[in-house]
Amino acid sequence: MKIRWIYLALGLSLLAGCQPKEPIRIGLLAGLSDRGSDFGESVRNGVILAIEQQNAAGGIDGRKIDLSVRDDGQDKVQAKKAAEELIALHPDVIIGPVTSSMATVVVPMMNEAHQVIISPTVASTYFKGKDDYLFRVNCTTREAAIQHARVLYERGIRQPALAFDASNGPFSDTWIAGFNEELTRLGGRVSATAGFESVASTRFADVIGKLLEHSPDALIFVASTLDTSRLAQQARRLAPNLPLSSSEWAASGEALSEMGGRAVEGLLMTHAYNRNDQSVAYQQFRDAFKQRFQREFGSFSLLAYDTAKVVIAALQKKRDGERMKEALLKYGPYTGVQQQIQFDAYGDATREVFFTEIRNGQLVQLK
């Protein structure tokens, strides 16, 4: 009888050892059902690719990564509900949100719950230099806007006008402030600004018309890919010869070209990666993304891929009992597809920006 119990205990022990390990849980919060859902979908696809690749390689210490996705709909009420659901799952980390306006809603919730959240794209200076639970992979609006002002000034632009999406104020306001400050320092000035709400009923012809009353020598759009394409269409109709430019918010270059057609021809845009990169890492990422999703990637997908790889690298090195916030701060710098990602003491990183122009329907990066 005693021997039988020994064999039974041994069998149970072996059976327990054969059970799959508890998965690592990662949350993703992005706008997937709003008018600018191309932004959120690009981020989601970049995260999915990185996680699928890691799971195919055995996960992390034999543990598969389980991704839980929630849609914030770019709506405050929906974002709160989505954030509550993700927090309740107690994930190791949450990736997102994708816009600064949604960050103002969910970051306080994450801080209260002591839940680490890392955004590939949130850029508003509102979130820089704060000892909280938000990590940022992208450069700030101010950094990108300053570079944008310098490039336009070098092109002879002296008094541009700006149309901006007021529904994402934390991004738009800080981008415009940084741009205006730098352009003024260089000797130019912003001739006019016009805000609008990103809804289907917005009359973009009226927005452009208000700007043209001030005789600008260029038009700049601080808006999503969809709204930028609609602004460009009206700008080409009302002022066909004015130079057009857009912030990095519309950096889904291929999607912008598809949506805007001939109206975005010649448009200059900011984005977060080097299109001319010949490195093996970049070529492998580009090929893998196209094979998985049957389309070219955009800035947001690469930023999201890098963010997921940062999370994976930190989880691989994280010790038992070590908090995720401590691990992310401790184990950098992290290797991205093109750039190193190093967090400062506040969880902020920076990133080099690039400029691309649409020529004959193709995206041509400026040297």
Is the pTM higher than 0.85? The answer reads yes
Span 68-97, pLDDT tens digits: 999 999 999 999 999 999 999 999 999 999
Note whether 126 and 173 are within 8 A (CB).
no
Span 134-166, pLDDT tens digits: 999 999 999 999 999 999 999 999 999 999 999
Span 17-58, pLDDT tens digits: 556 789 999 999 999 997 778 889 999 999 999 999 999 999
Question: CATH number of the domain at 142-271, please?
Answer: 3.40.50.2300
The secondary element (H helix, E strand) that includes residue 103 is helix 100-113
Residue 145 to residues 87, 150, 152, Cα–Cα distance (Å)? 34, 9, 11
How far is CA 243 from its chain centroid? 26
- Tokens describing residue 22: 């508890």
Range(s) of the chain covered by CATH 3.40.50.2300:
24-139+279-341, 142-271
- Tokens describing residue 218: 């260029």
CATH number 3.90.1010.10 given to 24-139+279-341: no
Task: Report angle CA 39, 181, 218 to the nearest 5 degrees.
Answer: 65
